[in-house]
Structure 1
């Protein structure tokens, strides 16, 4: 499992201008820096866990309490808010409850479950470790600097998702 940004406005990767022009003006929308975060996970058998989308907002604010629960996607996605639209300890615990636990219940059949995460602080907080212990999930942290080499979610899912 890992996170990847979801920009609301995608800037073009190319421009058109006459040959020899010294500078090229590009236009961006006012939302070019506005984004959400997607927490994506894949199991060793290739099955995908329910995605989580983290929007910018207060965790107990209007969007989180009134809009997200009635979203047409509420059954397919775990939806939450965080002030900077980042994964934090609170929504990491929510991801465990809403995405990991249902997947384990459907597919694991008593097999050992190992969760590989990078060294992002909320991935290995004491509360997250305790929560994983209660559901009998082994946490394995990917060594710093090795994420792009040994974390399949970054290479096989997040990169194509971003592209």
Structure 2
């Protein structure tokens, strides 16, 4: 393991490799011209013990506690990305909504339709996600489970370097 944090900070980020018990999820987006959007990153985060704090952390601090959020927010700004945390570091429908909002709600031509290809993961296809996407003129199209291999070039050129650097 290797730390990737400067001396003196309260939270130390540790670089882990291979089958360590660290998990991260990345949601990457690019258009047909190859322009990449800022990545959405999801890490394990220990939830607060009380419900009001859990809710405040989720709404105000992307799932992180007050202390950790100060450093996460700085990392977001430095690296032009969105960083979230939850207990399992698994994507869910709430993050799908945040992803849609971040990438499509404030675009220049909101009346133009946008096609977004997503895999079969259930968190992409809940009623609230479908409704919100429609309100943003985002047409969601499901890549069938047995055809995700067509996404392998993106996996190799984007995800592999990201996971290696992690």
Normalising by structure 2, report the TM-score.
0.68
- Matched with 2:37 is 49
Q: Is the 8 A contact 2:28 2:39 kept in 1?
A: yes
Deviation at 1:65, TM superposition (A): 4.5
Distance 1:46 1:110, change over 3 A: farther
- Matched with 2:155 is 154
- Matched with 2:114 is 113
Task: Answer 1 or 2: which has greater helix percent.
Answer: 2
Distance 1:143 1:79, change over 3 A: same
Over aligned residue pairs, what C-alpha RMSD do you find?
2.8
114-123 or 144-153, larger mean C-alpha shift: 144-153
Structure 1 unaligned runs (5+)? 1-6, 12-27
Deviation at 1:101, TM superposition (A): 3.1
Structure 2 unaligned runs (5+)? 1-13, 48-53
Query: Take 2:104 and 2:153, find their aligned partners in 1: how far apart are those partners?
Result: 17
State the structure with bigger RCO (CA 8 A, min sep 6), 1 or 2: 1
Q: How many residues align?
A: 135
Distance 1:38 1:68, change over 3 A: farther
For residues 119-158 of structure 1, the aligned pairs below 5 Å read 119-150=120-151, 153-158=154-159
Q: Is the 8 A contact 2:40 2:99 kept in 1?
A: yes
For residues 1-163 of structure 1, the aligned pairs below 5 Å read 8-11=15-18, 32-57=20-45, 58=47, 60=55, 61=57, 64-66=64-66, 67-68=68-69, 71-75=73-77, 76-102=80-106, 105-106=107-108, 111-150=112-151, 153-163=154-164
